[in-house]
Structure 1
Amino acid sequence: MTSAHHAHEPGGHAGHGGHAHGVAADADRRWLAIALTLIASFMAIEVVIGIIAQSLALISDAAHMLTDAVSIVLALIAMRLAARPARGGFTYGLKRAEILSAQANGLTLLLLGAWLAYEAVLRLIDPPEVEGGLVLGTALAGIMVNIAAAWCISKANRTSLNVEGAYQHILNDLFAFIGTAVAGLVVLLTGFARADAIATLVVVVLMVRAGYGLVRESGRIFLEAAPAHLDPDTIGDRLVAHGTVTEVHDLHVWTITSGQPALSAHVLVDPGADCHTVRRDLERTLHSDYGISHTTLQVDHAAEYLLEVRAGAFDDAHCETPHGPVHREEPHPH
């Protein structure tokens, strides 16, 4: 008979990104809430000044700040959802609410960037009168607010793609305000009104860059791709290098949520090997070398497995058409 062993990470399904829920999560929420208050307050003032000054750069910065505020609200909601325990059909809980939040952040940046680019081009063609002094003063105040907000979010756990999304929003806004301040100074000193629209286009480039990065990373997680820093082929070769392992197939590496990679595989070992010992050895290797502590390994004896395939007692399709490459030990020279 074959011997199948399923192992999960020690200590259950708690977070493994070095960031447990509880005190640390509460601290994250507190810092995010402070950043949200700063941003929302300044954004309301900036919209009014932007309209008075007829500055698209200021209005674009305010719109960007709106996405900052939304990203933080989404981050706070996602944190609460992700902290809920797994139950019912949601066997991982709602941990991927954080990834949904990150994807929403990325999409809002891309869509808002497209609209602002359109408006900026119109203003390049027909620039309105811009109050350079108001633009400069407001942008300098915005720089200070964004530095304070970025510092608050930097105190939270940025290994979360969700929190990183909010941080990227605010960091981009900081650079945008610097560009707007330069544009305000140019308008004030030279009267070159198109500097406002040019500053807006700089903001758009920053928004598109950050938005694309968030959508790409969250998309990888939703498509069950291996984390960018983990190569499944390298991991498979590492596992099969264990002295008693003869083959590794159906190897899957994916991300549950930020900082929580997971792995499953079917492992065949020598007939005389102790499956339990091999499994524990492989788990230690995966944890120490690759930071993967959520593992499900099915360990079988190779010879018995082959006999059962011949007898038709085993599900032939499972191993005759494995998912992904098959990793086998190198034949030993005699």
Structure 2
Amino acid sequence: MSHSHSHGHSHDDHSHDHSHAPTVTGDNERKVLLSFFLIFTFMIVEVIGGLISGSLALLADAGHMLSDAGALALAYAAFRFGRRAADSRRTFGYLRFEVLAGFINAITLFAIVVWIVYEAWQRFQEPHVILAGPMLGVAIAGLLINILVFWILTRGDSEHVNIKGAALHVMGDLLGSVGAVSAAIVISYTGWTPIDPILSVVVSLLILRSAWGLLGKSIHILLEGAPDNATPEKIQRHLVENIPGVASVSHIHVWSITSGRTLATMHVRPAADVDARLIVRGIENELKSQFMIEHATIAIDWNDEAEACSLSQPPVPTGHAHGDGHDHEHVRA
């Protein structure tokens, strides 16, 4: 945030712990690592089963399992990197790594969808002989493995982007296994092999929908977007209406370092004869309780005229202009 004029600044740091270390524990790491080994091991089994049976549904599911294994490996690496302490170059540590992992997971899902659709088109052009028996056995086993892994992952901290990414991969793979089982049953009873590529395409569309949501959330965080429940407008309105002595709130910036770790900065102008420290404490409590903002830097603005800020929206007028000085007191909450 840049100002067109300079003022004296004083900083009053409250004695709060602003550690930016991730809250993910070793329990989540173990679950992700166990899921990785289960998926990676069965992926090999499914590739062999797909080659023997000639099933595109199984091969597509195996390809998706490969992306699952990559997603889980990224999730595990994100947890490990995220525990590294902040340093002079990365003052928030490596928490953003998990968002990058979620972004990569989404991109790989799109790539898998393209591959499935391409292979399905080839199968429509030149149908393959499919052995329904081996296909059904491997598909059922894959379904059970995916159910187990999905259960393991959803017992963890599923609000983190990389956990969601891994879980979405497994969910898509679970649907792929359902499709493979269905295709094997239809082929076994009717001999109609086009059902194999058809179900592969249907599953790919379901995967595409999940990938789009994950990609959007990852990009939103990477672009420093405000969480839906903590937009500047909502914060400004809530603080003015609920904190006595607040004349106006402006220059609000809200962003997420990673999933569930929201930060904010803002300028607050108190009414006349109001203790600024009490206002800051009240704002700190409201931001934590109402918006889940764990770290806020608050500038106390005594200037009647709103300062220009190249990054802010115009301040919302409140009709309560007070004060005649030109100083700011920055308070970190």
**Corresponding letter in the other structure for 1:327:** V
Q: Which whole-Å deviations, capped at 9, do the CAs of 1:241-295 have from their partners, x for residues lacking one?
A: 2322222111011111111111110111123221111111111111111111211
Matches within 5 A, 1:147-226: 147-226=147-226
2:23 corresponds in structure 1 to: 20
Matches within 5 A, 1:1-334: 4-5=10-11, 10-15=16-21, 20-21=23-24, 25-241=25-241, 242-301=243-302, 305-306=303-304, 318-319=307-308, 323-330=312-319
**How many corresponding residue pairs?**
314
Displacement of 1:8: 7.3
Q: How many Å separate the matches in 1 of 2:199 and 2:234?
A: 45
Displacement of 1:155: 2.0
Displacement of 1:327: 2.6
Structure with greater helix percent: 1
Summarize the Cα distance change of 1:187–1:8 in structure 2 as closer, same or farther, 3 Å threshold. farther
Q: Which runs of 5+ in 1 are unaligned?
A: 310-315
Q: 3-state SS of the aligned residue for 1:319?
A: coil
Q: How many Å separate the matches in 2 of 1:226 and 1:6?
A: 26
Summarize the Cα distance change of 1:325–1:128 in structure 2 as closer, same or farther, 3 Å threshold. same
Q: Which runs of 5+ in 2 are unaligned?
A: 1-6, 322-333
Q: How many Å separate the matches in 2 of 1:33 and 1:116?
A: 27
The answer to whether the Cα contact below 8 Å between 2:57 and 2:199 also exists between their aligned partners in 1 is yes
Displacement of 1:121: 1.6
Summarize the Cα distance change of 1:276–1:331 in structure 2 as closer, same or farther, 3 Å threshold. closer
The answer to whether the Cα contact below 8 Å between 1:260 and 1:292 also exists between their aligned partners in 2 is yes
Displacement of 1:10: 2.5
Q: How many Å separate the matches in 2 of 1:290 and 1:157?
A: 20
**Identity fraction in percent:** 32
Q: How many Å separate the matches in 2 of 1:169 and 1:195?
A: 23
The normalised TM-score by structure 2 is: 0.89
**Corresponding letter in the other structure for 1:20:** T
Q: How many Å separate the matches in 1 of 2:268 and 2:223?
A: 24
The answer to whether the Cα contact below 8 Å between 2:20 and 2:93 also exists between their aligned partners in 1 is no
The normalised TM-score by structure 1 is: 0.88
1:313 corresponds in structure 2 to: none
Displacement of 1:9: 8.8
Q: Which whole-Å deviations, capped at 9, do the CAs of 1:37-67 have from their partners, x for residues lacking one?
A: 1111111011011011111110000000001
The answer to whether the Cα contact below 8 Å between 1:3 and 1:275 also exists between their aligned partners in 2 is no
Q: How many Å separate the matches in 2 of 1:321 and 1:71?
A: 38
**Corresponding letter in the other structure for 2:297:** T
Q: Pairwise CA RMSD of aligned residues?
A: 2.0
Q: How many Å separate the matches in 1 of 2:95 and 2:250?
A: 28
Q: How many Å separate the matches in 1 of 2:154 and 2:222?
A: 26
